[in-house]
Amino acid sequence: MSLAHGHPYLAIPGPSVIPDAVQRAMHRAAPNIYTGELTQMMPGIIADLKRIARTDAHCAIYIANGHGTWEAALANVISPGDKLLFPATGRFAHGWSEVATRLGAEVEMLDFGKQSAIDPARVAEILAADTHHRIKALPVVFVDTSTGIRNDIKALRKVLDDLDHPALLLADCIASLACDPYEMDAWGVDVTISACQKGLMTPPGLGFIFYNDKADRVRENAGCVTHYWDWRPRTDPAELYRYFDGTAPTHHIFGLRAALDMIHAEGFDNVLARHRTLARALWAAFEAWGKGGPMELNMSDPALRSHAVTSAKIGEDRGDRLRDWCEQKAGVTLGIGLGMAAPGTYAATGYFRVGHMGHINAHMMLGVLAVIQSGMTALDIPFGAGALDAATAICAEA
Ligand X SMILES: *Cc1c(COP(=O)(O)O)cnc(C)c1O
Binding site for ligand X (CB under 6 A): 14, 65-67, 92, 141, 145, 172, 174-175, 195, 204
**CA 1, CA 122: separation in Å to the nearest integer?**
54
The least CB distance from residue 67 to ligand X, in Å, is 4
92 or 231, CB closer to ligand X? Answer: 92
Which uninterrupted H or E stretch holds 92? helix 91-102
Residue 21, Cα to own-chain centre: how many angstroms? 22
DSSP string, 106-155: EEEEEE--SSS---HHHHHHHHHH-TT--EEEEEEESB-TTT-BB--HHH
The least CB distance from residue 84 to ligand X, in Å, is 16
175 or 285, CB closer to ligand X? Answer: 175
228 or 237, CB closer to ligand X? Answer: 228
117 or 371, CB closer to ligand X? Answer: 117
The least CB distance from residue 175 to ligand X, in Å, is 3
The least CB distance from residue 146 to ligand X, in Å, is 9
DSSP-derived letter for residue 32 is P
175 or 209, CB closer to ligand X? Answer: 175
The answer to whether 215 touches 191, Cβ cutoff 8 Å, is: yes
From the list 188, 190, 189, the residue with the least C-alpha distance to 217 is: 190
| Torsional class of 386: left (φ above 0), alpha (ψ -120 to 50), beta (otherwise) | left
The SS3 call for residue 331 is coil
The SS3 call for residue 192 is strand
Sheet containing strand 309-313, edge to edge, reads 9-11, 332-338, 347-355, 309-313, 296-297
Number of other CB atoms surrounding residue 1 within 10 Å: 4
172 or 287, CB closer to ligand X? Answer: 172
The least CB distance from residue 360 to ligand X, in Å, is 16
- In DSSP terms, 143 is beta-bridged to 150
CB-closest chain residue to ligand X: 66
92 or 383, CB closer to ligand X? Answer: 92
From the list 356, 87, 374, 78, the residue with the least C-alpha distance to 225 is: 78
The least CB distance from residue 14 to ligand X, in Å, is 5
The least CB distance from residue 156 to ligand X, in Å, is 16
Q: For residue 19, how many C-alpha atoms fall within 13 Å in the half-sphere facing its CB?
A: 24
49 or 284, CB closer to ligand X? Answer: 49
The least CB distance from residue 135 to ligand X, in Å, is 21
The values of phi and psi at residue 153, to 5°, are -70, -40
The SS3 call for residue 176 is coil
